Amino acid sequence: MHKIAMTASAMLIAAAAGAQTPAQNEDFTIEILESLGRVTDASVSPDGKTVLFGISYDNLEENNSNRDLYIVDIKGEKLTRLTDTPKSENSAVWFANGKRIAFMYPDENGAPQMWTMNADGSERKQASFHEGGIAGFLLSPDEKNIVVIGNVKYSRNAGDLYPDLPKATGRVIDDLMYKHWDEWVTEIPHPFIGTFNGATVENLADIMADEPFEAPMKPFGGVESFAWSPDSENLVYVSRKKTGLEYAISTNSDLYLYNLKTRSTKNITEGMMGYDTMPAFSPDGNYIAWLSMERDGYEADKNRLFVMDCKSFEKKDLTTEWDYTIDQFAWTPDGSAIFFIAPKDGTAPVFKMDVKTATVNQLTDEWADFTGLSVIDKNSLVSLRHSLLRPNELVLLSLNGKKGTSVTQLSHVNDGVFAKLDMPTVQKRMVPTTDGKEMLTWVLYPPKFDAGKKYPSLLYCQGGPQSPVSQFWSYRWNLALMAAHGYIVIAPNRRGLPGFGTEWNEQISKDYPGQNMQDYLAAVDDMKKESYIDPARIGATGASYGGFSIYYLAGNHNKRFAALLAHAGIFNIEQQYLETEEMWFANWDMGGAFWDKDNAVAQRTFANSPHKFVDRWDTPIMISHGELDYRILASQGMAAFNAAKLRGIPAEMVIFPDENHWILKPQNAVLWQRLFFRWFDKWLK
């Protein structure tokens, strides 16, 4: 395995190898977006001197992506590439006091396994040999034990019932929760604990062998669902120990404490009814912290930060006075404080909380989002930073007392590309809402913006529905790309988004057609006051809940929009109620079942389903959907398209047979972007 060392100046060229190199002052294009290096997963070495991370690039010709591992010194002066292989290395961590690295990589059969190598990339060896592969691993602090995520069979097929029909493909289903997002549930993940001798994983045993429950929880749970105690004697894992209908209507997960010696398991969050996730022991092992939602069935509830005394099992909510939801956290090495990231006021800053007093200090204050916390000491950590105008780069955060926090960029993977681009500009605008409040709205302006001209514009409708419109960087919904294409982009933090307090976030639940729709229109109406906005050339677009928003606005926009585009949206809420796999979501957000005639909230929701307003549709609409989307089935998009054509509305539809709720394959991603701009350019330019 070869490795390449380089200085920071050479890094700009080498790290962008394979990326499209733009000419000076070139516009930001679809092809440049797709060619950017994607920086992920920062991990600081035990001595605090080196950062391990990954950079992935899409290969448009081969229609795939590949990720390699790099290290950079803590000053950001020297980058070393550790891997250059045909498949992606993922989930890399340090061990052996920083002398070695463990990571995920496919074996000769294509099954993901744990591998190890020296810190310089040499002596690469396969460490795990679990049948069917593993989905992740976590070493114990003493590095003598390991927990890996392995799959066990769950569902039945025809061959199980009738052995004389081994080629029959029918799935036998007798209860709910038989699919997740983009897969039929034929297997579920379980934690397997084994030993590790520094080179090989051995003696793996399923600690939930007799239980038909997921751990971690599908579809997105990973090793963040596990935590080893500092003495390596106990493992905490997350599980929602329910199946079928009970599982489909509940978000009540718990933390389970498993002792390696006694092989006993204790539920340490029994009676806490919402999601309990992301456990983490304090460095001294006296406490465990985790994120906890209060209400069963509400997947977007406030994520509170709890700590528990490991001897008395006494629990304390550190966020009773903190009115924001927490995304991720990490202990300081001395256990006196916790760093965390939370959406707030249109960004996702880093905060520090004193554990004893629960006092919170905001450490960063810039138009940027941070993600990932790799702590060095109580005053410094490494994170990833991105914004509406730049993708992830590694940064070092250093706390300097009264002088505040300094943020030093450590990686420069895409700086060479952006240095040659004319990029849009961003403005924060406070928009008055119809109920007398103010709404933070991000507005992006095209490069070389001229206030004396008239511009087409796009309203961006967020999905989730409760996902922040912060300084996010997306490879699908890239607002900078839209602006670079000549559009003014209007991105409101409408009702139902985190970062503005619990009341603002929760208002949307059971009120899909209500105030948040008025917030969208308020943002458009406010921007129309500007002379540079052409009121005859305004479009609107969004995905998931944003797609629902487009379908609803199609019949309720009163001539504000000249073109619309919806991806993976809900068109018929009654249809959605019975098609989606996670019933807790439908019950909470829609208020209940459509057949419950005495439920006024639910009846209002279903009476305002977008399909009820098709008779008012008068605007060209493009529809996009993936056939592997099991959260919102592609039939929703097809029904909307059929309705538009039957009404004589100009319409276009693109169906991706090999995509889920997102569009992930490189060529499909480029196709989608090209169709996106072809559609809006046709009607707005």
Token reading at 203:
């003696």
Task: Write the DSSP string, 602-619.
Answer: HHHHHHT-GGGGGGG--S
CA atoms within 13 A of residue 667's CA, in its CB half-sphere: 7
Q: 253 catalytic, yes or no?
A: no
225, 544, 609, 624: which one is catalytic?
A: 544
Enumerate residues 6+ apart whose C-beta is below 8 A from 199: 116, 125, 127
Active site residue 175: no
In whole angstroms, what is the distance from residue 478 CA to residue 558 CA?
27
681 is annotated as an active-site residue: no
Q: Which of 378, 409, 332 is nearest to 72 (CA)?
A: 409
CA-wise closest residue to 275 among 296, 260, 257: 296
- 556 in Cβ contact with 512 (< 8 Å): no
Query: Which residues, including other chains, have CB under 8 Å from residue 164's CB and lie 6 or more apart?
Result: none
Query: Which of 412, 485, 567, 661 is flagged as catalytic?
Result: 661
As a whole number of angstroms, the distance between CA 476 and CA 481 comes to: 10
Asked if residue 469 lies in contact with residue 386, where contact means CB atoms within 8 angstroms, the answer is: no
Neighbours of 572 (CB within 10 A): 19
| Whole-angstrom distance, CA of residue 131 vs CA of residue 426 | 50
Strand partners, 27: 422
540/527 Cα distance (integer angstroms): 14
Count of residues making up the chain: 685
Residues forming a β-bridge with 428: 442
CA gyration radius for the chain?
25
What's the sign of the alpha-carbon dihedral 398, 400, 404, 408? negative
- Residue type for position 406: S
Q: Which residues of 32-59 are buried (b: 16+ CB within 10 A; e: fewer)?
A: bbbbbbbbebbbbbeebebbbbbbbbbe
Cα 314 to the chain's mean position, in Å?
A: 32
Q: Tell me how crowded residue 479 is: count the other CB atoms within 10 A of its CB.
A: 24
Q: CA-to-CA distance for 506 and 293, rounded, in angstroms? A: 13
Pairing relationship of beta strands 621-626 and 651-656 according to DSSP bridges: parallel
Active-site residue list = 544, 629, 661
